[in-house]
Chain A
Amino acid sequence: MKKKSQYRDLFPGALELMVLKTLTWRPMHGYALAQRLKDVSEDYLLIEEGSLYPALQRMLKNGWLETEMGLSARNRPVRVYKVTEAGTKHLEQELAKVEKMFAGFNRVLALAGQ
C-alpha cells in the first residue's frame, strides 16, 4: 500500500507540527482544521482531508491534544481539538529543532556551491 499523503515528503513530524501550531491559534474541529491548513498554505499543500485523522489520533494518544465539545462555524455542536500543556511544550521543542535544521539547511544551500 503506497502512502499518499504529501506531508510525508516534508520531514517526519511536519504534519503534527503544523496541526499543533494551527490549533494553538484556537481550538478547532477536524473540518475547520483542514480548511485552515488549506487556506494558510494557499492550496500549496493538497491534503486528503481524511489523512488528518490518523495524525490527530496519534497526537491524542501522545497527550499533545485533547477533545472537548465546542461549536462549529454554523453553530453546530462538534468535537474540537485543543492543544494541551504537553502539546505546547512539544511544539516549542520541535520548532526550535526545525529552526536549527533550516538554519543548517540554508547555510548548506547558500555556501555549498561556492
Chain B
Amino acid sequence: MGWLGPLFSRRRRYDELSESIREHLDEKVADLMDRGMTREQAERTARIEFGNVTRIEERSREVWQWPTLEGAARDVRYSVRKLCKSPGFTITVLLTLGLGIGASIAVYSLVDAVLLRPLQFRNEKRLVQIFEDRPAINLLHDTPAPANYLDWKQRNHVFSEMGAANGDIFTITGNGQPQEVDGAKITANLLPLLGTEPFIGRNFTADEDKPGSAVALISAGIWQQRYGSDPHILGRTIHLDGTDYRIIGVMPFGFTFPDRSNLWVPLALTTADKLERDSHFLEVYGLLRPGVSIQSARREMSDISLQLEHEYPATNRGLSTSVISLREQLLGSSRLAIFVLVSGVAILLLITCANIAGLMIARAANHQREAAVRVALGASRLELLRQGLAESSVLSFGGCVLGVLFALVSMPIMQHFVPQTIAAWAHPELNWTVLLFTVLVGATTALIFGLFGQGTTALRPQEALSQGSRGSTDTRHKLRSVLVIGEIALTTIILTSTGLLGGSFWKLIHTDLGFNPDSVLTMRTELPVSSQTPYREFAARVSFYKRVLDRVEHLPGVKSAGYTTFLPFTNAGGSTTVLIQGSSPMPIGKVNNVDLRVITPNYFQALETPLFKGRTFTEADGQNKTPLVVINQKMAQQYWPNRDAVGKQLRFDDPGTPWMTVIGIVDNVRQVNVETPSRAEMYFSYDQNLGIPGYFKPRDLAIRVVGDADNYANEVERAIWSVDPEQPVTDIQSMRHLVNTRMETYSLEAKLFAFFSCAALLISALGIYGLMSYSVTRRTQEIGIRMALGAERRQVLASFITAACRLLFIGVALGVIGSVVATRLLGNMLYGISGVAWGVGVLPLLVLSVSVALAAYIPARRASAIDPMQALRSE
C-alpha cells in the first residue's frame, strides 16, 4: 500500500468527520429545543456556539493531509478543468510550446552527443594532434614527415607519449567477397596513448612495429561481418593486399580511429623512412604529461622546430608546428554549425515564451473578475499565484510531452550535423541528460509565463473588482506590447540570419565547380600495390585502366569515362614541389607547392571540365618520350602571369628528374569542397611513368552518361569484374550525390533556419494579432464614442494600424541591431556573402512587415466596423 493507503482511506475519514459534526449539531439542537427554543432559534444558537462549520471541517481535514501536495493536486485538477473550457487557447499554447520545446530538445540532443559527451578515449582531455605548418605558402595543418616526428618524440619534455598513424586503404581478399576497407598503419604506442585497447587479444608490441611483421588488429565490425564473431579469432589470418597477416586482436565496438579505420597494422617505418624529412605523411598524436598545458606544449614544440630549422635548413626552413586538442580537431567546424543552430533554437524558444506569456496575460485579464472574487472570499495572493503556476505547469507539461514526440521524429535529421570524424559512435538520442534538459526547459517556461499571467492579477487584486479599472489593464497592455516588440525583434534576427544562410547556400550551389556533376556516375577501384599483387607493376595497372575504360565506354548510354587519383570532394589529395624553368631559384624555405593528380585521357571530358588552352592527353601520349603535364588556370596565373603557359617547362624538385612540358590549361576544379578555392594543380597522364609515388595512382572512375547516372551502376560493375573478378568496387554514387552530401550541413542549416523563421513569423504574427484583438475589445466603447462624435471608419482603422506599426518599427529597429551582432557570429558559416549583405536581409523584413500589418489589419477592420450604438451599449 505504502503512501497510497492514507490517500484512499482519507475519503472515509472525511465522511466520518462530517457525520460526527452533523450528529453533534443534531444533539445540541435537540437539547436547546428541550430548553424551550424554537427549532430555528436552536439551530442558530447551535451554529454560533459550534463555530464556522466549513472552516472547522477544513482544519480538521488538514490534520490528515500533506498540505502542499494535496493543495497542488487540487490546483492541477482545477487548472485542467479551466483549460478544457477554453480549448482554442489551450491548443494554441500546447502546439506552440510543443514546437518550441521539441526543437530545443532535438538540438540539445545533438549538442549532448557532439559537444558534451566525452570522446571515446579515456585520455581525451590530454590528447592533442600535432601538425606541420608552412605559413609562407599558406600550407597549414600538414601531416608531419617521419624524421621530424622522431626528433619531436625524442626531444620533447611535455608529452608523456607521442605516437603516429598513416591512413591507408586495404583490400581484403579470400574468405568471402573482396572488400576494401579504410585502415591505418599505427605505432605500437598509439592505442595505449589514446587510452584504449583491443577487447579480444592484444595490441602490437614495440618489437612488432618493424618492417616485415605481419600482424593486424581488426574492428569489431569486420570481426562480426567477415568472421561471424568467431571467439577463436586470434591467430587466424587475414589476406590484405595479397599478403597474409595474423590477427592478434579485435578493437572495441565503435572504435574507428583515425577517421573510419576498421583495420590496423604496425606503422613499421623503414630505415629510409626514418630519415625522410621531405615526404609528409604521418598523423602525429601526443598525450600531454599530467599538469602540462597545451600552451606550454606549443612553446616547447616551436622551440624544437626552431632547432630543426637550424639543423636541417634544406628541408625544415620555414617549417613550424601547431598543437591542437584532439577534440577540437575532430569536431572542426561542426562546432560553429551547432552553435548557430543552438542560437536559432534559443531564439525560437524565447519567441514562443514571449508569445505564450502574452496569451496568458490576456487570459488573466479575462479571468480578472474571477480572481478578484476569489481573493475577496479569502484566497491568499500566494494561493492565486500558486494557481497561476499550476495552470502554466499543466501547459508546460503538455508542451513537454508534445515536444518529446516532436523531437523523436526530428532526431534522425540531427545525425546529419554530427561531424564525419565521430559519426560512427556519436548519435543524438533521447537519454537522461536530454530528458533532464526537457524538464528544465519546461519548468523555466512554466515559471516565466505563469508569473506573467496570474502574477499580474495577484499583485493588485482589489483593482480588478472596482469598476472601470483601467490602471492595471493599462500596465498589462504595456507589458504585452513590450512582449510583442521583443517577439518582432527576435523574429527579425532569425529572419535576417535565415536570409544570410539561405543566400550563402544559394551562392554555394551556384558556385562554378569547374565540372558538371550531373549525369556522372563515380566509383572507386583501389588497385592493391603490395609486393604480392600483379598491380605492383606500372604496366599491369595501365593495362587494367585501359581495359576497364574500353569496356565501360562501349556500354550503351555512356558518353565518356576517365580515371583520376581522387575525384573532387573525396580527398584533398597530395602535393609536391616543382621548379619552373627560367625562373630564378626559390629562396631557401620557400617552395613551389603544387597539387597533383594522375588521370586518363577522357577524364576532363567525363567531368566536362573546360579546356582553356592547348590540349589534354591522348592515348598516344604514353609513347611520347617528353613528359607532359596539363595545369589548371590558377597554376598558369601563378607561375606564368600574363604569359602563355602552354609549351613552358617545369620539373619535380628532385635532382635528375626530367623537364616536363605544359600542353594545356584547364579550368580550376574545386577539389576539397565547394567553399574552398582551388589551389595550383597539375595533371599527369596515367601511362607516362614519371616515378610518381603509388599514392597518386588513379583509383576513382568518373563516367558521363545519358540520363540518370544511378541506372548504370550494375553494368559498369560487371564491366570492371569482366576485367578482374577479384577487384573490389566501392563508393558507387552519382557525382551529384557526392556534391550534395558535401553541402548537406549547409543545406540542412539553411532549411532548419527556414523552418525556424516560418515558426517565428507565425508566432509573432499570432502575438500581434492577439494584442490587437484584445485592444479592439477593450476599446469598443471608446471607439463607439469617437464614431458617435463623428470619427470616420478610416480614422479608426488608421489609429489601430499606426499603433501596430509603432510596435513593428521599434521591434524591427531593435532586431536590426541584434542582427548586426548575429551576422558577425554567423560570419564563418557564410560563403560568398560579406558580413553586411543587407540585400538578403531586406526581403525577410518585408515579409515580416507584411505579415505583422496583416495580423493587425484584421482586428483593426473589426474595430472600424463597430456600430457606435452597439458599442455604447456594451459594458
For residues 21 through 60 of chain A, which have their beta carbon under 8 Å from a beta carbon of chain B? 29-32, 34, 48-51, 53-54, 56-58, 60
Task: Tell me the smallest distance from the CB of B62 to a CB of chain A, in Å.
Answer: 8
Query: Are A58 and B63 in contact (CB-based, < 8 A)?
Result: yes
Q: Give the residues in chain B near A76, CB-CB below 8 Å.
A: 23, 26-27
Smallest CB–CB gap between B417 and chain A, Å?
Answer: 58
Contact status B59-A30, CB under 8 Å: no
A56 neighbours in B (Cβ, 8 Å): 20, 60
Residues on the B chain within 8 Å of A72, using CB: 23, 27
The yes or no answer to B731 lying at the interface (CB within 8 A) is no
From B16, B27, B49, B64, contact of A67 by CB (8 A):
B16
Cβ contact within 8 Å between B30 and A79: no
Q: Is the contact region of chain A dominated by helix, strand, or loop, or is it mixed?
A: helix
Given contacts A72-B27, A78-B23, are A51 and B63 in contact (CB under 8 A)? no
When chains A and B are docked, how far (Å) is the Cα of A48 from the Cα of B56? 10
| 10 closest Cβ pairs, A-B complex | A50-B51, A50-B56, A57-B63, A31-B27, A30-B24, A31-B24, A48-B51, A57-B60, A78-B23, A53-B60
- Assess whether A31 is in contact with B23, with CB atoms less than 8 Å apart: yes
How many angstroms between the C-alpha atoms of A73 and B21 in the bound complex? 16
Is B273 located at the chain interface by the 8 A CB criterion? no
A51-94 CB contacts (< 8 Å) to partner B: 51, 53-54, 56-58, 60-61, 67, 72-74, 76, 78-79
Q: Which residues of A contact B27 (CB under 8 A)?
A: 29, 31-32, 72-74, 76, 78
Q: Chain B residues near A73 (CB, 8 Å)?
A: 27
Bound form: Cα–Cα A49–B49 in Å: 6
Instruction: Give the B interface residue count (CB, 8 A).
Output: 26
Contact between B20 and A29 (Cβ–Cβ < 8 Å)?
Answer: yes
Is B19 interfacial (CB-CB < 8 Å)? yes
**A58-B63, A74-B27, A74-B30 known; A30-B51 Cβ under 8 A:** no
The docked-state distance in angstroms from the alpha carbon of A29 to that of B16 is 12
- Whether the Cβ atoms of A57 and B17 lie closer than 8 Å is yes
Which residues of B17-61 are within 8 A (CB) of A?
17, 19-21, 23-28, 30, 49-53, 56-57, 59-61
CA distance A31 to B20 in the complex (A): 9
Q: Are B51 and A51 in contact (CB under 8 A)?
A: yes
What CA separation (Å) do A67 and B15 show in the bound complex? 13
List A contacts of B57 (CB < 8 A).
53
6 A-B interface contacts by CB (under 8 A): A29-B23, A30-B20, A48-B50, A50-B53, A53-B17, A79-B19
CB-defined contacts of B25 to chain A, threshold 8 Å: 31
Asked whether, in the complex, the Cβ of B16 is within 8 Å of the Cβ of A54, the reply is no
- Which residues of chain A are near B60, meaning CB under 8 Å? 53-54, 56-57
Asked if B63 and A49 sit within 8 Å, CB to CB, the answer is: no
Residue of A nearest to B49 (CB): A49
Cα distance A79–B27 when bound, in Å? 12
B28 closest partner in A (C-beta) = A31
Apart from the given pairs A31-B24, A53-B59, A57-B64, 8 other A-B contacts in the complex at a CB distance below 8 Å: A31-B25, A48-B51, A49-B24, A49-B28, A53-B60, A57-B61, A67-B20, A79-B23
Interface, chain A (partner B; CB < 8 A): 29-32, 34, 48-51, 53-54, 56-58, 60-61, 67, 72-74, 76, 78-79
The answer to whether residues A48 and B49 also contact, given A58-B63, A72-B23 and a CB cut-off of 8 A, is yes
> What is the CB-to-nearest-CB distance from B14 to chain A, in angstroms, rounded to a whole number?
10
Instruction: Please give, as numbers and ranges, the residues of chain B lying within 8 Å of A48 by CB-CB distance.
Output: 49-51
- Residues on B with C-beta less than 8 A from A67 are 16, 20
Q: How far is the CA of A2 from the CA of B62 in the complex (A)?
A: 17
The distance from the CB of B201 to the nearest CB of chain A, in whole angstroms, is 67
In the bound complex, what is the Cα–Cα distance between A79 and B17 (angstroms)? 9
* A54, B56: Cβ atoms closer than 8 Å: yes
B-chain residues with CB within 8 Å of residue A57 when the two chains form the complex: 13, 17, 60-61, 63-64
Chain B's nearest CB lies how many Å from the CB of A83?
16
CA distance A53 to B24 in the complex (A): 11
CB contacts (< 8 Å) of A49 on chain B: these are 24, 28, 49-51
**Given A49-B50, A79-B19, A79-B20, A54-B59 contact (CB < 8 Å):** yes
Docked CA distance A51–B55 (Å): 10
B56 touches A51 (CB 8 A): yes
A56–B19 Cα distance when bound, in Å, is: 14
- Cβ–Cβ < 8 Å partners of A54 in chain B: 56, 59-60, 62-63
The 8 A CB mask of B819-861 against A (1 = contact, 0 = none) is: 0000000000000000000000000000000000000000000
CB pair B56–A30 under 8 Å, yes or no, is no
Residues of A within 8 A of B53 (CB): 50
| Chain A positions within 8 Å of B49 at CB level | 48-49
Return chain A residues, CB-CB under 8 Å to B16. 67, 79
B34 to chain A, nearest CB (A): 9
- C-alpha gap A55/B228 in the complex (Å): 75
Verify A29–B63 contact, CB threshold 8 A. Answer: no
A78 to B23, CA, bound (A): 6
Please measure, in the bound complex, the distance between the C-alpha atom of A49 and the C-alpha atom of B51, giving whole angstroms: 7
> Given A29-B20, A48-B50, A78-B27: A61 and B56 within 8 A (CB)?
no
Bound state CA distance, A82 and B49, in angstroms?
Answer: 24
Q: A33: nearest residue on chain B (CB-CB)? A: B24
A53 near B21 (CB under 8 angstroms)? Answer: yes
| B52 near A50: Cβ-Cβ < 8 Å | yes
A28 to B21, CA, bound (A): 13
The smallest beta-carbon distance between A12 and chain B, in angstroms, is 16
Q: Which residues of B contact A53 (CB under 8 A)?
A: 17, 20-21, 56-57, 59-60
The interface residues of chain A lying within 8 Å CB-to-CB of B61 are 57
Residue in chain B with minimal CB distance to A32: B27
Complexed CA–CA distance, A66 and B19 (Å): 15
Instruction: Answer whether A29 and B56 are a contact pair too, CB < 8 Å, given A48-B51, A49-B49.
Output: no
How far apart are the CA atoms of A34 and B21 in the complex, in Å?
12
- Which of chain B's residues have a CB closer than 8 A to the CB of A58? 63
Distance A73 CA – B875 CA, assembled complex (angstroms): 60
**Measured between alpha carbons, how far is A70 from B52 in the docked complex, in Å?**
26
| Chain A residues within an 8 Å CB radius of B51 | 48-51
Q: Residues of B contacting A30 with CB < 8 Å?
A: 20-21, 23-24
Residue of B nearest to A61 (CB): B63
Give Cα distance in the complex from A49 to B30, angstroms.
16
Query: Closest chain B residue to A51 by CB distance?
Result: B51
Within 8 Å by CB of A29, from B13, B24, B30, B59, lies: B24
